[in-house]
Each structure stands twice: as structure tokens, then as C-alpha cells.
Structure 1
């Protein structure tokens, strides 16, 4: 059996980030066709970067997971380097905004201006692991394909250059400043293949890296729904759930715009008093807001998560930056009403392509109006439950997705 590996910043049953869960689902399904290794770090908290795992090797669902220590993290030093590297990134982003970056990239696909400083900056990041890269360099010939998850971490930037001829990048990219760094022109033009999640993500990359970008296609990911769901009584008792709640699940962090969701929900409750509460599920990566209408469950099992979705009045994803949004797709697969941030082109596209089996908001007032319509009004998407399920089934079927990835690997 041929051997492949995934390189990802975090991995394990205790990890609930979108790209990391995406990686785990792909790895476990591909393990029926290949011997799969995971190369990762011992970190979970991507703010403190303290080691969470103590062992260097474990087996999870018959997959070998190799964990490596990272370099000590100095936040002040890293921020200093970010400031030193901002001008080339800002210049490229300005060219993108005025529509010039794509034609320029056709002539100058690779940028070296500022790359030296960016390399130093990446080495100060909390996920940087010299040991991980050494292991990959020593074992690259063991693998038919090396699959890198998420474009901006150090393991991808440095690791993909170790054996670019057998490297597959799953970038999980969105329109953010790091995507415009000159160092990314090396990654996006030298890897063997880039596997995007959506058409919107693919078009964004094409407009940044131009026609010289590596071979690419849309692979995406399927939606997992095979965990045992506890009874409603068990869930409500364990988490002291209110009768009516809206739900967000995933990383509870500023990067996911959760602080804005909390603030808007509290203001909404002032205007429209009710028993409705906001339930936040996942690891906490920002200060906890102590408010009687906001509840935190902490990390939950997969089955508990699905149960929380099933019984929620409404599921909300406030993130502005998504390359796919498993949150949205999982909720749709369960036929739930989902309200998302329309500033995310990817999630907005899901709403439109599904015939509005999900909906989006574009402002605070819009958010409040749609909360009223979906939670208390007669606009609940219950009539569109079948439409939501059909959309996910049609476009995010596991057999189709795994065959796409197997075809890419076969060409390595």
C-alpha cells in the first residue's frame, strides 16, 4: 500500500478548528486506500502556543500521528516582524484591489521583494517547528504525496518547498492580508497541485497569482453525520440549556467575529426581550463575556455538537473569512435554519446556490430583522429543510470528493 502524509498545525480528537477537522476527515477516509501519516505539532491553543500533547507519537483510528515541539513563542518579537514585512504585502493587496495584480502576475509570477524578512517573520510564529521540518526533509521519499493544510502556517510555507513535486496544497484561503505576501507566490506557483474548497476560493487565488499558478482544481470536503446523538433530555441536562437558543460552534475567537455576534445579540435582546439565549460551543480563544443571555458549553463531542445543532432554534456563523464553512454545511445537512455573515463571499454563495436554503445578513439591523423573522416569525426555513439537505448531498458527497483527491495523488 502506498504511503501519503498530511502536514497540519493541529490534529486530534480534542481539536475543533475547521481546517483541522477537514484534515482529519480526509485522512481517515483515505486510509482505506493508502497508509496515512499525520505530521503535526503538540499545540492546540494558537494564542499561547503552549504544548498540549505530551507524546511524540500516537495512533488515532489506525493513523500514525507524529507530533513535534515548536520553538518558544515571543508575541512581541513576532509582531515586530509583522510590522517590518507589511509594505510588500500591502502593495500587492493594493494592486489586487485595483484589478492589476492578475495581469502583472502573468509577467512576474514570483516576487522576491521582502521575502527574506518574511522568512524571518514566519520563523517567529508559534507553530514554527524546526524538528517537524527536519523530519519531513528526512522522510520525504517515504511518501507518494505530501498534503499541506492551510496556506499561511510555517509548516506549509517551508514544508511545501522540501518536495514541491509531490506536494498538494489545500489552502483554505480567503481574502486576508497574509494571502498577499510575496512568499506565497513561491508556494502557489511551485507545489504540484492546489485543491480548493469552492469556486469562490479558486477565483480569488487566480486573481492573485495569475495564470502561472500551479495546477489546481476544486476538491472540497464531505460532511460528517455518523456520530451518536444524545437525547434531548441528556443534552439539556448536561449543558443546562434553555428551551430556546441560537447556536454558534467552532473556535470562539475574534478571528471568527464571535465578539461582534455576542455584542449584537446582547443589543438584540435589549430591543426584543425574550427567553432566547446565545449558546457558544467550542474552545475559548478570547475573553469570556459574562452575561446572562450568553452561555458557553466548552469543547463537546461530535455527537453532542450534532445534538446542539439539531435542537437549536437557529444556527449562526458570524465569520467574515471562510474557505468552505463546515459549520454551515453540517447544519444544512441536518436541515437546520442557518444565518451567516454575508461579508463572506463563500457563505453568501452557499446561500444563493442552494436557493436560499440558508440566509445571510449584511448589517446589524439586517441581523436583528432576520433574527426576528427566523426565530419568532413565520419565515423559518422549515419548508426549505429538504432543499438544504439536497444541496449538501449533491455538492459535498464523500465518494466524489475522495475520488477527486485520489486522482490527484495518482499523478504524483
Structure 2
């Protein structure tokens, strides 16, 4: 297709760049780059990397990364005290809806009352006080929306997702990366999830969760997901020397934060106290919590994609302790490499990956279960080659790039002019 015949699309995401390693952000980056043969691709994003401080890291303006036009906008100056104060005063809507969800009647109520306004104005003020909100970004979309064939919104938790989707619902495709989290029960989401043109989910479990929250008036939806990209690995010698690695380690990769890590380090160290094992836990990613100085915990900091793949390849197995995942790229990357994976079974999405793959990966549901599974995966797996083949076959079958891009391009092309 000739370059001048390409239509323009834009993707809206919290963070974007080679230095960013969050799941939704990597998801966005992979899709953006794979869509460049077919469209002029703009990404609208922030200058932020650290989502605790929201301090600028990148410059405002345009940067071209792998043929993607990355437009960075200044965000709202973040005041944690003010944000927490107004967030607390806006909880009635989401607390009410979450209570109905826990009692199993929210879907029925949503069928009759699809849109809620309880606390919605205060919820909007909370979004505008968030460190990722950018009035400049929203204003840019308002001014230039007609230039885009379609607008793809990443993450329902991104404050800009709501305001852009509210202005141009018929032009927008939402990739909500939703999980069971209090923020999903905000009243304002009842408006977005029932008015936006299409919702592209990562898994059936994510889709079912949202159906149970938003009822039969939820916008048309489908499973699109994302494929897996595996970089050429760095050498074993490079990563072992750079990060001072032992031969026997298990790996976590992602944001090192309380909401992602759960009790991983605590339970791992409990295992070490009760077992004679030289295994260590390697934590890879940016640190957003207090560092543990125990010698059995190794922090690598941010790593390149090539280093990440080498870390996965040389680990005994990979672990994802998060309860909140809409897909888990870490899990799929490890499975693609034929590496055993242990995941938190309280996350239904990852539990279903285990079940649907014929237990090519394992899950735990409690501390005692974690300790048993940890021991099993270190010392009792009987046929690792069969597990690896099963894992790789599962990813090939369900996360093929040609199928995924075909689905997404069909949605883009069907966007009304």
C-alpha cells in the first residue's frame, strides 16, 4: 500500500517508550508497531515513567520510535494529599456497585439500570487530579479527532481513556485490560462501557467479568488479545556477570510493587527457612516499594528485552504473583520459551491459562499451596520437555499475530467515518 494512501489511527496509553515495561504499555507498543504497515500510527501518552511520583521523564513533544509517532503531553501536577482527599469523597458510587457485585446481583441491576450517576461528578474530578490526566492530550484529540480513522484506548484505569471516550464514543475501540479492581466499579465506567463503539478484551474471563458488572447493555465486544514477541536473547555470560546471578534462581518480571508482588518475597523466604535449597528469587523491573535486603533476593533493576529473554531462559521457572491480570504477557512469554510458570490462582485469567493449556503451568491459592508448588517445580517435575511442548503449542494456537491483527484491523476498518 502506498504511503500516502494510509489512513491515520491513534492509540491512547498512560506510558510509552523503550524504557517502559508495564503489561498494558508493552501490549500497546507491540500493536502500534505491528499496525504501521497499514496505517499512520500516532500514540498519545504522557512524559511519565514513575506512577508514584508522576515526575516528567520524557520531553513534551513528538518522538518517532520504530515508525510510530509518539506524542507526549504534559500531565496534571500531582498532589498526593489532595488526590487522596477527593478520591475518598468519591467512593459512594463504586462502593455501592461493588457491594451489589459481591452479593451477585449487580448484573441483574445493570440490566435494568445500565448507566449510573451516583458520585459521577466527584469521580470525574478524581480523574482530572490523577497524575496521568492531561488536558492537553484530551484537547489535542478534540481538535484532531476527524483526522483519525479510529482511536484505540488502552486501560480503563487511564483517566484520559474516559474523557476521550466520552467525547468520541463511536470512533473509539477500548482495550480495557480490566481486572477485578475497585476502580472498575466507578459510576462513570457504566457510561463508557455502554456507549463506546467496541470493547476488545484479552480473554474470555475478562469479558465475563465486565458482562457481570455492566450487564446486557455493555457495548459490543470480542476477544482480540495480543501476540508474543521474543527478542534475541543476550548471552548467559552477560546476564550472569552483570546481575551477579546464581545458577539456581526463579524469576519475576514486571513492576516491583505491593499490588503486583503480593506476599511473594515473604512466602519465598519462608520456603528458604524450611528447606535446604540454594535457590534465589530474582526480581526484574522498576522498584516501587521498599527493597528487601535479604541475600536470597536479587534485584536487577530495569533490563533490556534481550536481557529479559536471557533471564527467562536461564531461570528454573518464572512466577507471576499478581491477582490482577487481564492477560499476563510475562506468562505467555515464558510459555513461548518452554519455561515452567507458577501463577497466583486467585487471578482467574491466569488460572484459566493453566487449565486450558492442560497444566503447562501451575497455580497456587494459599501460602501452603505456594510452598508445595514451589518445591514441586524446583525438584519434582518429571518430564520438563513435555511441559515445554504443551506450553508452546498453547501459545501458538491462541495468540497468533496474524489472527490478532486481522481482528483488530477489521474493527478499525468498520469504524464509521
2:228 is aligned with 1:223: yes
- How far the C-alpha of 1:367 sits from its partner, in A, is 0.8
Does structure 1 residue 232 correspond to structure 2 residue 236?
A: yes
Contact residue 336 and residue 382 of structure 1 kept, 8 A = no
Distance 1:37 1:119, change over 3 A: same
Distance in 2 between the 1:372 and 1:154 partners? Answer: 42
Q: TM-score, normalised by structure 2?
A: 0.97
SS at match of 1:144: strand
Unaligned runs of 5+ in 2: 1-5
Question: Which has the larger displacement, 91-100 or 320-329?
Answer: 91-100
Q: How far is 1:205 from its partner?
A: 0.5
Structure 2 counterpart of 1:244: 248
Partner of 1:342: 345
Contact 1:374–1:381 (8 Å) recurs in 2? no
Confirm whether residue 311 of structure 1 aligns to residue 289 of structure 2.
no
Measure, in 1, the Cα distance between the counterparts of 2:377 and 2:121.
51
Displacement of 1:259 after TM fit? 4.9
1:29 aligns with 2:56: no
- CA 1:259–1:217 in structure 2 vs 1: closer, same or farther (change >3 Å)? closer
Residues 7-406 of structure 1 aligned to structure 2 (within 5 Å): 7-225=12-230, 227-256=231-260, 258-379=261-382, 381-406=384-409
Q: Distance in 1 between matches of 2:247 and 2:387?
A: 23
CA distance in 2, matches of 1:22, 1:378: 31
For residues 315 and 101 of structure 2, the distance between their equivalents in structure 1, rounded to whole angstroms, comes to: 40
Q: For residues 170 and 208 of structure 2, what CA distance do their matches in structure 1 show?
A: 23
1:295 match: secondary structure: strand
Contact 2:262 2:322 in 1 (8 A): no
Partner Cα separation in structure 1 for residue 150 and residue 338 of structure 2? 36
CA drift of 1:381 comes to: 4.0
More divergent stretch after superposition (160-169 vs 191-200):
160-169
Aligned partner of residue 285 in structure 1, secondary structure = coil
- Give SS of 1:80's match: helix
Q: Deviations over 1:307-336 (max 9, x none)?
A: 100010010000001000001010000000
Does the Cα contact within 8 Å between 2:60 and 2:74 map onto a contact in 1?
no
Q: In 2 relative to 1, CA 378–100 (structure 1 residues): closer, same or farther, beyond 3 Å?
A: closer
RMSD: 1.0
CA contact (8 A) 1:89 1:181 kept: yes
Stretches of structure 1 lacking an aligned partner (at least 5 in a row)? none
Q: Could you list the runs of 4 or more consecutive aligned residues of structure 1 that deviate by over 3 angstroms after TM superposition?
A: 378-382
In 1, distance between residues paired with 2:126 and 2:60?
28
Task: Tell me how many residue pairs correspond in the alignment.
Answer: 410
